[in-house]
Structure 1
Amino acid sequence: MEHIKKKYEVVIVGGGLSGLCAAIASAREGAATALIHNRPVLGGNASSEIRMHICGADNHGHRANARETGILEEILLENRKRNPQNSYSVFDTILWEKAKFQEGLDLYLNTHMTDVVANEDKIEAVVAEQITTEKNFQIKGDIFIDATGDGTLAYLSGADYVVGRESRDTFNEPHAPEKGDNCTMGNTLLFKTIDMGHPVPFEKPFWANTYTEEDLNGREHGNSGFNYWWIELGGDELDVISDGEVIRDELLKAVYGVWDHIKNAGDHGAENYALDWVGFLPGKRESRRIIGDYILNEGDLANNTQFEDAVAYGGWPMDMHAVGGLRTRIEPTEYINVPDVYQIPYRSLYSKNITNLMIAGRAISTSHMAFGSTRVMGTCSVVGQAAGTAAAMAAKRGCYPKEIINNIKELQLKLLRDDAYIPGVVNNNPNNKARSAKITCSSYEESCECYNVTNGIARTVHNTFNCWISKPLDGKVQWIELSFDSPISADSIEIKFDSNLSKQLMLSMFKNGLEGQEKGIPKELVKDYEVNFMFKDNVVRTISISDNYLRFRKHELDNLKFDKVRINISRTNGDERARIFEISIF
């Protein structure tokens, strides 16, 4: 076996959506970054191996203007453009492309971490084996990010962690159990069916379970195209990590037993349906949670606690699954709604006792109750972007992640500039030259004036639009112009368009996941636009963009000198008005 040594500034273990977003953010921030993943495809629970749709703060579109932006939005809009057929294999390829061709990022697929080299309170390296090449790697790093989901890197390094449910009085959480225990949520195997157009028989395998209608009480199973997330086992006497293979086998028995019940035990509308795909890699919900300098809890979500070190947000309900899952006959989950989107503090994103370890994804520092909300992939993705950005900052400064708290405003402004969202935090970046401009436009709708593009909030919040919205195009060009009292020089202009953050973009293989979604690119997005830079009324540069499908566009200017810039918008992806949330010039 070939032994290879590598050295990076930031090393991320785990290539789910959170780890991927962390790796991209770190590399874009200029840090030499490695992403190590022990599967052949990226995406974790959202990959073709598991095929769970990406839930987030918008709560399946029920919370207006709450969809996650930043790197996740970029990925999902790319998927909308190139994968209208909703193929999970194509989505795998899009995720691979994002990592493989990101400058400054080295991707290690099929590479399983087998050991951690740690020196007291600091990680020196991880040891990993690439099973497809028989190569053994020792990968050193300055900052490490655990995005394994199970907190495996943290566990092996000696980080403090917890498993299970805290008692009600631990954090004064009204919905927590009276007594704490080691129980976690279980694992699920998903499956997909296909309408064959004619009756299709099904013969239950000898090893499959048998279920009655009473067994499945409270678990909707009348329509074979729906997402049976409630086929869930483990987390009670079966540990979701150490008993993972046993749980997988039991889940297979359950899947085929449920399908037998649907096909052969009464009329469930499935006469013409056949199994098309059954997963073999269970999707995990909960295992270890790593202890940081702050443990986010139910009260923070319910009361919308404001944190000075907020770097991400959530909004999914506290989705608390029944202990034992399918083995019980009680409701499979309890949804405890949170009143609004809530902040996630930076202090929950790094280990309390391992100095150079950060956490991304579902293993961040929360109570079990808060975890019921933060664990979903949309939230994990924005947490990953925050962790990756902070890790790169720490690596560049030669400091530990904990010390970045002293530069939290800088971190927040970096995230906002990169189209992340932090509720209650305004993008008042002093380096943004657009903030000093005089702003005019061809037209605007009431409450959607042109000066909104520099107010520092790049989405609609409650009843405040924060967007320039023009009058109808009607075949004409609508424009917005920024002029300066004296010439400026700039390296980039950055524009955040409207992609309708109240609508779902997620990939799903299930009928209930796709219902209500509009096909194609969000119609509100600007499609064709031109940016003209002027100096003393002469055009010195023009940038013309056709067929845009992204919300966030950054155009390099190479120290261009100008005193006026006008953005002409001639076409959208279907909406009758031009819309821009933010214009920044650096």
Structure 2
Amino acid sequence: MHTMILEGIESGKRKSHSITLASDLVIVGGGMAGTCAAITAAREGLKVTLVQDRPVLGGNASSEIRLWVLGATSHMGNNNRWAREGGVIDELMVENMYRNPEGNPIILDTILIEKVHLEDNIKLLLNTSVYELEKRGEDQIDFVKAFCSQNSTEYILSAPLFMDASGDGILGFLSGAAFRMGAESKEEFDEQFAPDHKYGELLGHSLYFYSKDTGKPVRYIAPAYANTELSKLPRFKTFNLREDGCRLWWVEYGGRTDTIHNSEDIKWELWRIIYGIWDHVKNSGQYPNVENLTLEWVGTIPGKRESRRFEGDYIMHQKDVVEQREHFDAVSFGGWALDLHPADGVFSDKPGCTQWHSKGVYQIPFRTMYSRNIKNLFLGGRLISASHVAFGSTRVMATCAHNGQAIAMAAKLCKERNLLPSDLLASEPMKALQTLLIQSGQYIPKLSLGLENNFLQDAEIQVSSELELISLPVDGPWKSLEFSVAQLLPVSEGQQLSVKLSIKSKQKSTLKLEIRKSQILGNYTLDELVERKEIDVNEGEHSYQIDFDFKSNTTQYVALCLMQNDELEVKCSSTRLTGVLSIFNKFNKSVATSSIQSPPPGIGIDEFDFWVPERRPNGYNLAFELNDPLKAFGKDNLRNGVFRPTVKPNAWVASIEDKNPQLKLSWSSIKSIKEVTLFFDTDFDHPMESTLMGHPESEIPFCVKSYRIKDGNGKLLHTQEANHQTINIISFEQAVSTKELIIELDHPSESVPAALFGLICK
């Protein structure tokens, strides 16, 4: 029953409604980094308060800004194969593609909110801004104060640990954490790519917009504040009407000003530009077929790139990225280009960005993820400890999200062991942190999961079949050699290559072939020529046998390269396999300008060729026959603790002829099994951009959709009929006592054999 409230005159001042909340971890910032950290921490048993100053989660990925989530895969435009981030961000990206292949940012909003809502350990505060804090001594945060404008409530939030993933670093700033803003000199970290003042020292903001065809004429009258002098914009001549939304990332401004305190002014300038662009499109008469277009959506808050960067116990720099330096405390990885933008943004006469790629992915150390002087403050998202140049790579959302998972797992160990973040640098806790991360799906280059606390350690493994790759059927399309094409093949030590290919030629010609590999084991940059061959090709369709002298000295990927010749076509196969891929010596214009990265001398960047895949439904493997089979798909891969292809496929792959693929684990004594975790193949080479671009499929063709788990007596313990996720965790209500565990997998399709990267039984 409603009771009327009557309150008389207050001679003093009233206080806001106030709520005090205590938790194990307070996370400020609900972008992809804060969201993934909150989900991870909650699943590990921590009570989490997630504070977000916007009405939705996702930050730059949300429907308010609408930038796609991306990371080390870089639109499949670099040489980082199978490099999509793992763990919770992978779960979110896979789920988004399953529900939302069209790339609708509203649907992504709902997925993020749903995932957080499902975690009972998360207290989510939307529309809530932190504005003050109190410290415990000089070097720790005691509690923070935040205010929600929608319910007129002040929150006092206390915890032993805090994570700042707010973008501008409100916690770090208020607490007195050391930070920097702007670009370092070339000398400070020996960074030859460091920009000078003419280029600029900060990345700006961007606003995006969508247009829509209404089916009837729509007029447009620009607001008075629109910039209608677009001819003064140097990039005006390159404007492409077909590009909208976040494809117009280059509509950028603000790098010459304070990107924190002048953010509203920057937004107004971007509004002026965008409404001016639309006025020109609609009213200049220079664009056909625009009569029925309307301006459906324009961003109301800008997508921010850079402001404060905070200092940890280590500051990442250019050589960490380019040289792929290894760190004892590696907990994450990156792979986006060193991507700097001119500070003048859309008003600059320089290209919208300058992207230089490394030859492979690089490790990110834990020492970058906490403040060097505020002892209980984690640094999340784009706040991590990096120079301006390294930040050009580490700032992208999927990388930030992957780092966020590492922070959350570190918080778990800090709580359990009563430690502060820097205490985890000791050998044993760091090993424990890395182990927890890898077993949760996090990928850390060069590291693998041991078999401790996994019943797989002393199990006998039997499988119904193992793929021995001797050929791929000649049942796919013909592919023109307008670009050089390479087939990545996982070879074992001592392996030689003798291959038969089907070639079609318009006339007598010459086919040039090469065997290439990477100078650095685990990279996929084909920078080492091993052997060259030439064969004469007759007119018409014929098969050709090519014998190479090459003999592999280790387990590795090598590339069988068919060099460019417009007169020739090669036959492809419709069969797709885990860990087998074709790549092309061309480039993706989203992230490169040529098929060869040719940096100017003296900036500390390598020159090399790009060999990139094609997206499905293209991207067929070549059809081929080998004299000696590739035996890289055996059951021993299930024990190696790596859950994606690296120097080899790292997966047990069943033979496609095996109608009932089966894995049996046997023990000499009865085991009490509470949980089984399975790691499937959702194609870590596919970037799964979250917004706008769209995808031709909602499920990955390599992923096992249906399987069954039985005990040694044939009792059905679990059945799955519609899986699309990478990691499946099966928890039994009552522990299963058995000496045998049987896992029956169904092939994903007639042309894709069942594969499993690994499993954990405990």
Q: How does 1:105-504 map to 2 (within 5 A)?
A: 105-119=122-136, 120-178=138-196, 183-197=201-215, 200-212=218-230, 215-217=233-235, 220-226=238-244, 227-236=247-256, 238-265=257-284, 267-268=286-287, 271=290, 272-406=292-426, 407-446=429-468, 447-461=632-646, 463-472=647-656, 476-504=659-687
Q: Structure 2: how far apart are the matches of 1:485 and 1:41?
A: 53
| Length, aligned pairs only | 575
1:455 Cα deviation from its structure 2 partner: 0.9
Contact 1:528 1:547 (C-alpha < 8 Å) held by counterparts: yes
Same amino acid, percent of matched pairs: 35
Deviation at 1:300, TM superposition (A): 0.4
In 1, distance between residues paired with 2:148 and 2:201?
33
SS of equivalent residue, structure 1 residue 471: coil
The more displaced of 359-368 and 205-214 is 205-214
The DSSP-based 3-state class of the residue aligned with 2:349 is coil
> 2: CA distance between counterparts of 1:436 and 1:383?
33
Q: Over residues 146-182 of structure 1, what are the superposed CA-to-partner deviations in whole Å (9 max), with x where a residue is unaligned?
A: 0101111110111000000000011000100357998
CA contact (8 A) 1:14 1:36 kept: yes
Q: Residue 191 of structure 1 contacts residue 277 of structure 1 at CA under 8 Å; is this kept in 2?
A: yes
Q: CA deviation at 1:471?
A: 1.8
Q: Partners of 2:735 and 2:411 in 1: how far apart?
A: 28
Between structure 1 and structure 2, the one with the greater Rg is 2
| Separation in 1, partners of 2:746, 2:411 | 41
Give the one of 1, 23, 27 matched to 1:8: 23
Q: Determine if contact 1:54/1:507 at 8 Å carries over to the other structure.
A: yes
Aligned match for 1:71, one of 66, 81, 88: 88
Deviation at 1:269, TM superposition (A): 5.3
- Of the three residues 43, 49, 60, the one matched with 1:34 is 49
Rate the CA distance shift 1:315–1:268 in 2: closer, same or farther, 3 A: farther
Q: Tell me the distance in 2 between the aligned counterparts of 1:32 and 1:180.
A: 48
Please say if residues 218 and 331 of structure 1, whose CA atoms lie closer than 8 Å, have aligned partners that are also in contact.
no
Aligned-residue CA RMSD (Å): 2.0
Aligned match of 1:521 in 699, 702, 712?
699
Q: Is the 8 A contact 2:74 2:687 kept in 1?
A: no
CA contact (8 A) 2:200 2:342 kept: no
Q: CA deviation at 1:198?
A: 5.7
**1:505 is matched by which residue type in structure 2?**
M
Whether the 8 Å contact between 1:320 and 1:335 is mirrored in structure 2 is yes
Work out whether residues 334 and 361 of structure 2, in 8 Å CA contact, stay in contact via their aligned partners in 1: yes
Equivalent position SS for 2:687: coil
AA partner of residue 207 (structure 1): Y
**Structure 1 residues 230, 270: CA separation in 2 closer, same or farther (over 3 Å shift)?**
farther
Per-residue CA deviation, residues 193-213 of structure 1 (Å, 9 max, x unaligned), is 123456644333332113445
Aligned letter for 2:178? Answer: D
- Deviations along 1:464-517, one digit per CA (max 9) or x if unpaired, are 11111112268x3211222223222222110000001111322222xxx33xx3
Q: Distance in 1 between matches of 2:454 and 2:238?
A: 52
Aligned residue for 2:24, secondary structure, equals: strand
- Matches of 1:49 and 1:183 in 2, distance apart? 27
Shift, 1:275, TM fit? 1.5
Task: State the alpha-carbon separation in 2 of the partners of residues 222 and 213 from structure 1.
Answer: 14
- Equivalent residue for 2:480? none
Give TM-score, length-normalised by structure 1: 0.94
Residue type at the aligned position of 2:225: W
- More displaced 10-residue stretch of structure 1: 497-506 or 415-424: 497-506
CA distance in 2, matches of 1:163, 1:574: 55
Cα distance in 2 between the residues matched to 1:473 and 1:255? 57
1: CA distance, partners of 2:686 / 2:71 = 12
Matched residue type, 1:553? N
Query: What letter matches 1:40 in structure 2?
Result: P
Q: Deviations over 1:97-150 (max 9, x none)?
A: 111221311111111111111131100001011222111111100110001011
Using the alignment, how far apart are the partners of 1:338 and 1:436 within structure 2? 40
The 1:347–1:295 alpha-carbon spacing in structure 2 relative to 1, beyond 3 Å, is same
Matched-pair contact (CA < 8 Å) for 1:521–1:573: no
User: 1:399 offset after TM fit, Å?
Assistant: 1.3
- Which stretches in structure 1 are left out of the alignment for 5+ residues? none
Q: Give the aligned residue type for 1:525.
A: C
TM-score, structure 2 as length reference: 0.73
The SS at the match of 1:547 is coil
Deviation at 1:80, TM superposition (A): 2.4
